[in-house]
Chains A and B, each alone.
Chain A
Amino acid sequence: MNGVNKALPGPRLEALRAEVRAASWFAALGEPLTEGDRSDAVAYIAALGFDSPEIGVARDWPDAERLLKAPDWAPAWWDLEEALRRRLLTEAETLYPERALWSSLTDLTTETGDLVHGKAATAAARMGRAAAASIHVAAGAASQAVYQLAVARLAGQSASPFESKFHLYAAGRWPLGILGSRLVLF
């Protein structure tokens, strides 16, 4: 329990907030993949321990919705992320006071949620044909990515899969996950 009374690292959280504000949330949905997108996607999935799967692309919002609702998604991908998040959160709880840690993560996620919801709504309006609930889904996914990254960094992990996952969002992509045998990016 060494360091449990250590104050939360304000500058580290502020740096993350700045990254969140500067990210190009949902700006590249439906665009052709770049080498940078591919590189981040491969790094993300390799860091989770998966063999490099084929990388697929969702063309538009209805395509993304169909893929996200399909029954052949890979629960192992979600479960691996969740197990990692829980482990990192436990590590962070040994470093910082529980109430302060919980409050800072809640505040960050709330701020992020409002920001990315607006960005997702803008992208949906620009591209058209998105179900209203899908804007909430996109905002939920993006907020979760920021929460995961914050937990990892507060636990002192600067090379977690959540770094490359966030890079994809920051580049305007939405990683939809491992669906079928492919990692699908929107």
Chain B
Amino acid sequence: MTDIVVKTVEELKDAPEEYREAVSKLVISHAINELYGAQVFDEPAIAYAPTPYAKWLTCRVAMEEYGHHVRFKQLGVQMGIPEERMVPSTGKKPLSIFEFPLKTWEEFVAIKLLADLAEILQVEDLLHCTFHPLRNLARATMPEERFHAQFGEDFSAELVKTSDGKARLQAAVNEYYPYLPSFFGGSKSRNNEIFRKWKIKQRTNDDMRQDYVKRATEVAAKYGLTLPEIRQAA
């Protein structure tokens, strides 16, 4: 019953309604969050970047994030989702982290280091998705997401070379990290149950959150950073 593989957008029309709705929710969520991330963090960060090298690298990251939004939106349009449901303000409520506008370069580096790691876990979970257009999109997106996280590592390595830089980066980690574990959704999420039932996603929210905390702790430790206590998931 739930062993279904949907190889094309055309085939999706014949899939069960619950499957189609679940896939639509994921595509809308990714389209909106990629756009929020680009608008709230990546584009403003260009002004804070300290050198032309860092500015243009940030430009490229911002463009790739906008590009992810474009790709998810294009898939959504093919699936028949109205465009206005895949952009902020008219669509679903944003994640809480997007309510805190960027103020410094160190905050952006902390976000790339830790928030993009969360994004990697989300995309990893789609690499075996039974809806192949979404699986393929995840595969296309993954190298760029890894590059963005590496950006966070590279500039973290630069900042921690001085005690002042390290203190500012640690302060940014302390400010933003507590919001990130909730990125993975609630422990008893009905949506996640449906995603796993149809093998659209593979892991529970709690499993992913636990993995994220472990990996975030490891990557922070590489640069002598610590992670603050986290809030309970919603």
Contact = CB atoms under 8 A, between A and B. Distances in A.
Q: Is B a genuine binding partner of A?
A: yes
Given A133-B154, A137-B53, A177-B52, A82 B60 contact: no
Contact of A141 (B59, B61, B66, B147): B59
A109 B60 contact: no
B59 A140 contact: yes
Interface of A: 65, 68-71, 73, 78, 82, 106-107, 109-110, 113-114, 117, 133-134, 136-141, 143-144, 176-177, 179
B57 A109 contact: no
Contacts of B47: 82
Contacts of B58: 140
Interface in B50-69: 51-61, 63-64, 66-67, 69
Nearest to B58: A140
Given A110-B67, A110-B70, A113-B67, A69 B56 contact: no
Contact of B63 (A65, A113, A177): A113
By Cβ-Cβ distance, the 8 closest A-B pairs, closest first, are A140-B60, A140-B59, A68-B53, A140-B56, A110-B67, A136-B60, A141-B56, A137-B56
Among B47, B60, B61, B69, max chain A CB count under 10 A is at B60
Given A113-B63, A139-B60, 10 more contacts: A68-B56, A106-B66, A110-B67, A113-B60, A136-B61, A140-B60, A141-B56, A141-B59, A143-B60, A177-B52
B56 A144 contact: yes
Contacts of A68: 51-53, 56
Q: Classify the interface of chain B: helix, strand, loop or mixed.
A: helix
A107 B54 CA distance: 23
Among B61, B64, B69, B154, max chain A CB count under 10 A is at B64
Contacts of B57: 133, 136-137, 140
Contacts of B61: 136, 140
Contact of A143 (B59, B69, B70, B151): B59
Nearest to B67: A110
Among B53, B55, B70, B154, max chain A CB count under 10 A is at B53
Contact of B66 (A109, A117, A137, A138): A109
Contacts of B59: 140-141, 143-144
A110 B66 contact: yes
A71 B66 contact: no
B139 to A, nearest CB: 16
29 contacts: A65-B53, A68-B56, A69-B54, A73-B51, A78-B52, A106-B69, A106-B70, A109-B63, A109-B66, A110-B63, A110-B67, A113-B60, A113-B64, A113-B67, A114-B67, A133-B151, A136-B60, A136-B61, A137-B53, A137-B57, A137-B60, A139-B60, A140-B57, A140-B61, A141-B59, A143-B60, A143-B63, A144-B56, A144-B59
